[in-house]
Amino acid sequence: MRILVRSRETLQQLSEAEGAIAVVSISDDPGDFPAPPPRCDCRSMLRLHFDDVETGFDAFGQKRPPKAFTANQAREVAAFVIGLPEDIDSLVFQCELGVSRSAGMAAAVARWLGQDDLRFFRGHLPNRLVYRLVLEQIDPECVRAGGEVVCETCGKPYADHASHPAFHWVTVLCDGRNVKL
């Protein structure tokens, strides 16, 4: 599967040459998403809205508090990617400029699929928060711990938490983190 990064404008320029595509579309505004590319076989589209910030405190010059990418949104991305049909030829990540948020997501998914994630760090400026959160959700082996470690949220040992629905060897903590014991 090819992984592509596109801006709002270049998303519309995709053609049938890309084959069957799936799109993760990212916008600042929940009501302002681009239409699916008109000349493509777009089989699936996930729409997310969040600002291009790497912490919740990058509010300099903004008229409203920024909405940072969350672990819940990262889980949505992971479920979307894991659930894609096998006949998808290209997975397209699109944000306003195609530089930061979409590149961060694309790099994390590429790494999980065994592809070169460094290509997204050359010529783009991947959002590190997006990269880290998506990778933590899509690659459950990112965090490892012993079963005797206690959950900071509920106080129970990690081993007493439920298994991940897609990866039975992974434990899901109360705060949504995936842990391999």
For the ranges 14-23, 108-117, 128-137, 168-177, the lowest mean pLDDT is seen at 168-177
Question: CA 40, CA 20: separation in Å to the nearest integer?
Answer: 7
Note the pLDDT of residue 82: 84
How far, in Å, CA of 64 to CA of 42, rounded? 34
Put simply, whether the predicted model's pTM sits higher than 0.75 gets the answer no
Whether residue 178 has pLDDT greater than 80 = no
User: Does the pLDDT at position 142 exceed 70?
Assistant: no
Domain boundaries, the chain: 2-138, 140-181
pLDDT, tens only, 31-69: 888 888 888 899 999 999 999 987 655 455 555 567 889
- pLDDT value for 86: 83
Residues 66-96 pLDDT 10s: 788 999 999 999 989 988 888 899 999 999 9
What pLDDT score does 28 carry?
87
Pairing relationship of beta strands 20-27 and 41-49 according to DSSP bridges = parallel
> In CATH, which of 3.90.190.10, 3.40.50.1980, 3.40.50.920, 3.10.20.310 is domain 2-138?
3.90.190.10
Hey, how many other C-beta atoms are within 10 angstroms of the C-beta on 124? 18
20 near 41, Cβ under 8 Å?
Answer: yes
The whole-number pLDDT of residue 173 equals 85
Q: Which strand (E) or helix (H) includes residue 47?
A: strand 41-49
Phi-psi region of 128 (alpha: psi -120 to 50; beta: other; left: phi over 0): alpha
